[in-house]
């Protein structure tokens, strides 16, 4: 049975400020780096055979925390990047609602946003393809960890499982440095084994010295 771990990156200052990141290359903050270490200490117990990450720093640096414990190198795949949010990127959702009210209303309803925001279908397809290629790196019965982003993780997993958008909306947003576990065997294909798994508590960020 192949196991695929789809892991969201750690916290960033834009996460903390409620800003839309999309494909803007925002780095981890102190909390995010600690979250990556805490999560890696759990994921290393799964003995991953391969680690693949989005090339955006917040995901790549999250994966690096696990690589440091396993001794494995990290492969990078642009298809694992977050959804492209176009003109929304850099704005808070309050600002998005004011600047793009029609698009924001469609987003809240789970519909295609339009404009220059990447479509749900395009995002799901490219992410599912990247996940399948990552899974192929594992030997039979092996484990692959993929470090990626929240929106694209949920959409890509849903596409891989063949879920309708209505089903996918029943899943809560993936928390920073939490992950989805998928398994695959010849009889059942891909199955969701666990969702939003991660460290039980967040360590406080130490004050600057």
Pairwise CA distance, residues 43 & 168, whole Å: 25
pLDDT of residue 156: 97
Q: Which residue has the higher pLDDT, 19 or 203?
A: 19
Lowest-confidence segment of 73-77, 152-156, 198-202 by average pLDDT: 198-202
Pairwise CA distance, residues 149 & 87, whole Å: 19
Per-domain residue ranges of the chain: 2-84+119-197
pLDDT of residue 202: 45
For residues 57-62, average pLDDT: 98
Superfamily covering domain 2-84+119-197: Phosphoglycerate mutase-like (3.40.50.1240)
For residues 31-43, average pLDDT: 97
For the chain, the average pLDDT equals: 94
Side-chain half-sphere of 88: how many Cα atoms within 13 Å? 26
Q: Is the pLDDT of residue 135 over 60?
A: yes
The tens digit of pLDDT for each residue in 76-132 reads: 999 999 999 999 999 999 999 999 999 999 999 999 999 999 999 999 999 999 999
Residue 209 binned pLDDT confidence (cut-offs 50, 70, 90): very low
Q: For the chain, what percent of residues have pLDDT higher than 90? A: 92
pLDDT of residue 203: 45
For residues 52-69, average pLDDT: 98
Token digits of residue 165: 């958008």
Token pair 């666990």: residue: 194
Q: Is the pLDDT of residue 207 over 60?
A: no
Sign of CA dihedral 54, 124, 195, 139: negative
The tens digit of pLDDT for each residue in 176-190 reads: 999 999 999 989 999
- Return the active site residues: 9, 82
pLDDT of residue 200: 66
First to last CA, the chain: 47
For residues 162-191, average pLDDT: 94
Q: Is the pLDDT of residue 201 over 90?
A: no
* Burial tier of 139 (Cβ tally within 10 Å: 0-12, 13-18, 19+): exposed
């Amino acid at each position: 049975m192949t196991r695929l771990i789809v892991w969201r990156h750690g916290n960033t200052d834009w996460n903390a400020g409620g800003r839309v990141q999309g494909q803007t290359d925002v780095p981890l903050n102190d909390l995010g780096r600690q979250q990556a270490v805490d999560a890696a200490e759990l994921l290393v117990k799964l003995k991953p055979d391969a680690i693949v990450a989005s090339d955006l720093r917040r995901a790549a640096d999250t994966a690096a925390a696990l690589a440091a414990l396993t001794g494995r190198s990290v492969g990078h795949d642009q298809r694992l990047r977050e959804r492209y949010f176009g003109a929304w990127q850099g704005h808070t959702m309050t600002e998005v609602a004011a600047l793009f009210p029609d698009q924001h209303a469609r987003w809240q309803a789970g519909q295609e946003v339009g404009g220059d925001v990447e479509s749900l279908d395009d995002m799901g397809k490219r992410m599912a393809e990247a996940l399948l290629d990552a899974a192929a790196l594992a030997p039979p019965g092996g484990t692959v960890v993929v470090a990626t982003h929240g929106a694209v993780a949920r959409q890509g997993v849903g596409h891989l499982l063949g879920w309708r958008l209505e089903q996918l909306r029943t899943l809560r947003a993936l928390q920073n440095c939490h992950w989805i576990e998928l398994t695959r065997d010849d009889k059942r294909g891909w199955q969701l084994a666990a969702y939003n798994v991660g460290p039980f508590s967040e360590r406080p960020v130490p004050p600057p010295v």
